[in-house]
Amino acid sequence: MNIEDKFEIQEVIARFANSFDLKDWNGLEACFTASIYTDYSDLRGTPPQALTAAEYVAARREALDHLKLHHLVSNYEIDITGQNTAICRASMMVWRKSEQEDFASHCFYEFQLTRQAGVWKISGITQRVLWNEGKPSIHTGIHQERK
């Protein structure tokens, strides 16, 4: 594995996480290929889906823009699976805070990445929740039955 590829993959995953916290929705969209696969079934109880990067960002903006956010990502395990494809497994802590309540998720992510025009982009996201703490109802992207 080329150390430069590993660094660039870690950078795009960090940019993904930081974009939420900074409410940099354009920066978040720039992390993705045009179409992405997502599986947030552990958190939301919804089936995996494919959607455009713009649709993904619009949904996250609507669900999270009213909250204070903090994403911490670490424990990167990167496998280059092809000339222009990779998988990155990483641990993440996601804190969401409203004025009165908070909700935190301890997660394990698997990111699928594709190199396009020499730049690594996220083409898939699978989140596995280890456990949650707090009030999930502050996150409007979670189905009510998941409270």
Question: Residue 86 sits in a domain of what CATH number?
Answer: 3.10.450.50
SS3 of 99-111 = CCCEEEEEEEEEE
**Average pLDDT score over the chain:** 93
Tell me, what DSSP letter sits at residue 1? -
At residue 145, the pLDDT reads: 36
Contact 80, 5 (CB under 8 A): yes
What does the pLDDT read at residue 139?
79
**What is the total count of domains within the chain?**
1
Contact 69, 19 (CB under 8 A): no
The residue range of the domain holding 23 is 3-146
DSSP at 90:
E
The whole-number average pLDDT for the span 56-75 is 96
| pLDDT band of 86, cuts 50, 70, 90 | very high
pLDDT above 80 for 141: no
pLDDT (tens digit per residue) in 10-48: 999 999 999 999 999 999 999 999 999 999 999 888 899
Q: Among residues of the chain, what percentage have pLDDT more than 90? A: 87
DSSP 48: -
53 closest CA partner among 73, 22, 70, 30:
30
Give the pLDDT score at 147: 33
